[in-house]
Structure 1
């Protein structure tokens, strides 16, 4: 009975970690325990481990029971402790953590006990890293070699994260031999300097725009992100990513950059096993990350963990295995029976189904017989463009392009020609091409609207000719039924389409039709960027509030006064001023009021003084004062840099309400004709009605074009311009002194204008929807807003170091220095004149003669000594010349410097 209780007590704490065979009774020896030591903070590896056990147990007669131990990343001591706990529970196999050094320590311990060790991560030495399903770096290099050969690269840059990844480069160079391409090698490492921008700038300055990137999942993802910031994520650059987790990256922001990003992955995200695992993660962890356009939240480490559990399960079907409880501290021959046999049998299996990463087959210690999906980032997401298999020739097999129009379809647009109105110049929608040659026809125009019509023409098969329709987009008068501008041209049949920054309004739709919006926007305020406020003269005092400075001054005076009083109360502070006299007639106290103030001043400024407290009371208050000043000075120093460098911008207006209230006398206006002006004319909102009244009474504030309004804002005459948010966005990335103020006032969209009841409207709308789904609209906007002619302001804002301090920031310090220096001269001159006056009075000589005599001594800069008496001195003719002024007064009474 007592033995049974002891067994229950020993097993109970570890039983709570077990799962997967509750119905089988793990304690009875009917189940096989396997352990997982994970350093994954997201808990995904653990959930994958549990899910895989639950899946394989449905096919096993002897189930698997999993036990998980969570450890900190890189903590080998903690990991070894948890390994010993798992051994005591009788695990038959152990899955190791991702940290390589920690895994190496655990592998040695498992080898000593003949326990199979599974490492589901990239391994550089499969012979010494236990059972590993990850492709060897040699195979990854071979895949990269075949892809580069298809690219026909004659030179490229090889970017690697750490020295381990040079193994891939070594295999690449071995495959190329002596006739390979020119390879420029660069290292990026986040642990070296905190960012990769220095390396990426070298890439930008080089002539090579083809880049092979190898490294960890986190490292490669961060490299791509910073590459976009540096400006090398565009159509001129091609990236080949050698990390097998490219499908897990956040690639949304790169879809429309037009950069070619190619990579490899080991499994299909649409595979049933992957979908089931994702559903489990969603249920257990509350995550919502389904596969989407070739992407997946399932990392390769999770997939290999799943497959390794499958291998263990298949092995137990062929080889009986009953793991025993072991003790880490016992002798070496206390090992797991059949452990090494079980590990070797795992490598002898060939598994073809029910795995995530495909066929599992080993040649020696290395996995073989697998394949890679070659994937490419396109506007629709990651697209499979080929399959790589060892020993087979690789070729790109991109999906064929499906025609988007049919010549025989009713109302076909094929070979029809339309007259399209544009507004020139009106960047970025349409403008003239800058060229030294004379261009005619459609080739003379460029812009967002031009490219959009070309995309639609390519999709629908029509032809087009562009015509400048001027700056008047047009309006419709309900009373007279008359139209103006571009609208009139379309209504009268002189034009078929109009594309520019033409807003869809109910008024215009009474005269013409619009396509669905190709761009959404709203009215916003364009204004000059807030100017940085000039730093105050005494900005060095900003780290502390006025109250703190006041209390600091009170503390300074209070402690000085306490020192003065305690010095007089403490017998130890009364000293013999003449140590040679053993029995002095009087004692002297060093803590005079002047010395007390000087002592606290020295401590406050971290300089010290020659005064040394002797009594316990004075030393106590001195120590407390030193501690107080230490904290105060440290706090001041810590905040000083921030207060000197941070410059808070001061803006005249921050919202449309400020503009309506005419705050700081800021004037405002809009384009004289168009939807923006009509918005204020028809609005019933009190604020907008007030703004409309202002613009109506000040017609000089209205402009003929948006560009005229932008120029007026740039002139810096306290003028704000109301225009569409997209146009503001375009201008603010090119004019660094301009900024969008507040939120959009409304929501609307730009559309393509066309005749009323036009038969081809639905075709245009469907084509626009397709372009939107394919990411073409976003790519065009990114091209004309953020790439062509942009980047000036963002480049200036890309500052790798702190901003330098100017004279304005430190002017107060110089002022204190100058005033202090002047005061010292005033004090010196006052006491010098007092000294001369007393000396002249004593020797009964005229003050002016004495002053001249002393001045001669002062300006004798080459002399550092002065005669006490001189026959030529003005004092030698005095009857008191034989006496010394020092004999009449003590040093403390004279307040004059002592003569040599």
Structure 2
């Protein structure tokens, strides 16, 4: 591998890079020697349209089609393409009428005895999609601006600040009340002259701080002060006490931070139109029983709604929720496209397919689509082959070296453009 990297710095063409990976491999040996017998062969191949993986509008194009085209051109392999649905194509594969079936659909354990398949050539996750019900500018926006945990922490902090302020005010009030009491007789005799001077000056002035503390010593007054600080409406505690002023400063600073944080998030939500996602998981859909899930029957995601792969019936909790009206007989991408804009309908599909649907297919009831981020099922696409296909292991080796090639593609481009320094730095990281 190190020798490949050193030689890649001298590369000046795409063909030379492919030659290193496909003909030398990581050990420097001729790794294609065992599969020379595939060169020049012609295979009968069934394809079915499923953009963006396979598209037949402008020839044989798409993600999986591009992989096939690269490998077939490198090994001089030709193909006679036939367009059939997945059901028809699988039957032709089982009876040995054709060699390969290229389509990103599922193969279950029940098919293993009748069909061979290659290593996975595409891996992707299924996600939920639904019609966007609003633009976010509703009364609920003021509530869902913060999460439930943040609202709980905010209210808890208000209670703590209220209790802290009430305790400080009452401690200060108790100190002021004790300050005005008459000292005991023995202390008066010991401090006769101080008491005499106090008597000569006349009665002490009224303790205004004590009176102010009495007026705000209730829990309600402390709560109103905290509420005023949080809403930037000022406060009612104008007391000449360092401890109370410190508590006031802390509360006002906290209120300023929370006020600005809430305002910024609310404004961004109203401007962008972020919609609250109602379902954090598929299980929450089954519990709510308010939405229908549309999913292609020949997909990896559909299997998880059944107890076993070979079962025809869905699990009890999913009956009446999966592929019910308005979902059609969801076997193709067009069926998924037709169900996208119905209310209370969820589409369980890969992001690439949904993006292609929105881009290509004309929907009379076009609508905005919301993506519920999350990994709900994993999809892997393989090339299906007739049973005991002679070149199955050869195709697996070709696909393996295809991925090996692209795993180093970015580093090789970096080596060609920037020389050896950046390339070496990238390999160490």
Instruction: With the length of structure 2 as denominator, give the TM-score of the two structures.
Output: 0.59
Paired position in structure 2 for 1:718: 344
Paired position in structure 1 for 2:254: 635
1:769 aligns with 2:400: yes
Which of 523, 545, 548 matches 2:160?
A: 548
- Mapped partners of 1:456, 1:538: distance in 2: 51
Paired position in structure 2 for 1:98: none
Paired position in structure 2 for 1:534: 141
CA contact (8 A) 1:526 1:722 kept: yes
What pairs with 1:208-357 in structure 2 (closer than 5 Å)?
293-294=1-2
- Mapped partners of 1:447, 1:761: distance in 2: 22
- Mapped partners of 2:392, 2:235: distance in 1: 86
CA contact (8 A) 1:496 1:755 kept: yes
- Mapped partners of 2:342, 2:164: distance in 1: 44
Which of 475, 484, 487 matches 2:90?
A: 487
User: Match of 1:671, SS?
Assistant: coil
Give CA deviations for 1:624-683 in whole Å, capped at 9, x if unaligned.
11112122222333444334445798543222322333x262322322455554554452
Paired residues in the alignment total 344
- Mapped partners of 2:316, 2:342: distance in 1: 24
Paired position in structure 2 for 1:430: 54
Paired position in structure 1 for 2:413: none
User: Match of 1:642, SS?
Assistant: helix
What pairs with 1:461-540 in structure 2 (closer than 5 Å)?
461-469=76-84, 472-474=85-87, 485-491=88-94, 495-520=98-123, 524-528=126-130, 534-536=141-143
- Mapped partners of 1:716, 1:634: distance in 2: 48
User: Match of 2:114, SS?
Assistant: coil
- Mapped partners of 1:463, 1:382: distance in 2: 34
What pairs with 1:55-134 in structure 2 (closer than 5 Å)?
none
Query: Judging changes above 3 Å, is the alpha-carbon distance between structure 1 residues 722 and 588 closer, same or farther for their aligned structure 2 residues?
Result: closer
Which of 683, 689, 707 matches 2:308?
A: 683
- Mapped partners of 1:414, 1:704: distance in 2: 36
- Mapped partners of 2:69, 2:108: distance in 1: 25
CA contact (8 A) 2:47 2:82 kept: yes
In the TM superposition, residue 530 of structure 1 has moved relative to its aligned partner by: 11
- Mapped partners of 1:464, 1:672: distance in 2: 28
Paired position in structure 2 for 1:671: 296
What pairs with 1:596-611 in structure 2 (closer than 5 Å)?
none
User: Match of 1:535, SS?
Assistant: helix
In the TM superposition, residue 689 of structure 1 has moved relative to its aligned partner by: 1.7
Query: Judging changes above 3 Å, is the alpha-carbon distance between structure 1 residues 759 and 625 closer, same or farther for their aligned structure 2 residues?
Result: same
Paired position in structure 2 for 1:450: 65
Give CA deviations for 1:90-147 in whole Å, capped at 9, x if unaligned.
xxxxxxxxxxxxxxxxxxxxxxxxxxxxxxxxxxxxxxxxxxxxxxxxxxxxxxxxxx
Paired position in structure 1 for 2:332: 705
CA contact (8 A) 2:291 2:344 kept: yes
CA contact (8 A) 1:430 1:445 kept: yes
CA contact (8 A) 2:294 2:327 kept: yes
CA contact (8 A) 2:292 2:322 kept: no
- Structure whose CA Rg is larger: 1
CA contact (8 A) 1:564 1:592 kept: yes
- Mapped partners of 1:738, 1:585: distance in 2: 77
Query: Judging changes above 3 Å, is the alpha-carbon distance between structure 1 residues 642 and 670 closer, same or farther for their aligned structure 2 residues?
Result: same
CA contact (8 A) 2:293 2:322 kept: no
In the TM superposition, residue 538 of structure 1 has moved relative to its aligned partner by: 12
Query: Judging changes above 3 Å, is the alpha-carbon distance between structure 1 residues 606 and 457 closer, same or farther for their aligned structure 2 residues?
Result: closer
CA contact (8 A) 2:42 2:80 kept: yes
Which of 726, 751, 757 matches 2:382?
A: 751
CA contact (8 A) 1:567 1:591 kept: no
In the TM superposition, residue 708 of structure 1 has moved relative to its aligned partner by: 3.7
1:626 aligns with 2:245: yes
- Mapped partners of 2:89, 2:175: distance in 1: 89
In the TM superposition, residue 386 of structure 1 has moved relative to its aligned partner by: 3.9
- Mapped partners of 1:775, 1:384: distance in 2: 14
In the TM superposition, residue 718 of structure 1 has moved relative to its aligned partner by: 3.0
Query: Judging changes above 3 Å, is the alpha-carbon distance between structure 1 residues 407 and 698 closer, same or farther for their aligned structure 2 residues?
Result: closer
CA contact (8 A) 2:129 2:369 kept: no
1:401 aligns with 2:32: no
CA contact (8 A) 2:53 2:63 kept: yes
Query: Judging changes above 3 Å, is the alpha-carbon distance between structure 1 residues 650 and 493 closer, same or farther for their aligned structure 2 residues?
Result: same
In the TM superposition, residue 547 of structure 1 has moved relative to its aligned partner by: 1.8
Query: Judging changes above 3 Å, is the alpha-carbon distance between structure 1 residues 486 and 659 closer, same or farther for their aligned structure 2 residues?
Result: same
Query: Judging changes above 3 Å, is the alpha-carbon distance between structure 1 residues 645 and 566 closer, same or farther for their aligned structure 2 residues?
Result: farther
Give CA deviations for 1:809-848 in whole Å, capped at 9, x if unaligned.
xxxxxxxxxxxxxxxxxxxxxxxxxxxxxxxxxxxxxxxx
1:739 aligns with 2:372: yes
Pick 1 or 2: higher relative contact order, CA cutoff 8 A, min separation 6. Answer: 2
In the TM superposition, residue 460 of structure 1 has moved relative to its aligned partner by: 1.8
Query: Judging changes above 3 Å, is the alpha-carbon distance between structure 1 residues 418 and 626 closer, same or farther for their aligned structure 2 residues?
Result: same
In the TM superposition, residue 722 of structure 1 has moved relative to its aligned partner by: 3.5
Query: Judging changes above 3 Å, is the alpha-carbon distance between structure 1 residues 399 and 776 closer, same or farther for their aligned structure 2 residues?
Result: closer
- Mapped partners of 1:490, 1:496: distance in 2: 7
Query: Judging changes above 3 Å, is the alpha-carbon distance between structure 1 residues 700 and 430 closer, same or farther for their aligned structure 2 residues?
Result: same
Instruction: With the length of structure 1 as denominator, give the TM-score of the two structures.
Output: 0.31
Query: Judging changes above 3 Å, is the alpha-carbon distance between structure 1 residues 409 and 586 closer, same or farther for their aligned structure 2 residues?
Result: closer
Paired position in structure 1 for 2:363: none
CA contact (8 A) 1:514 1:751 kept: yes
Give CA deviations for 1:842-897 in whole Å, capped at 9, x if unaligned.
xxxxxxxxxxxxxxxxxxxxxxxxxxxxxxxxxxxxxxxxxxxxxxxxxxxxxxxx
Paired position in structure 2 for 1:459: 74
- Mapped partners of 1:510, 1:719: distance in 2: 37
1:693 aligns with 2:285: no
Query: Judging changes above 3 Å, is the alpha-carbon distance between structure 1 residues 763 and 652 closer, same or farther for their aligned structure 2 residues?
Result: same
In the TM superposition, residue 730 of structure 1 has moved relative to its aligned partner by: 8.3
Query: Judging changes above 3 Å, is the alpha-carbon distance between structure 1 residues 728 and 681 closer, same or farther for their aligned structure 2 residues?
Result: same
- Mapped partners of 2:164, 2:342: distance in 1: 44
What pairs with 1:25-40 in structure 2 (closer than 5 Å)?
none
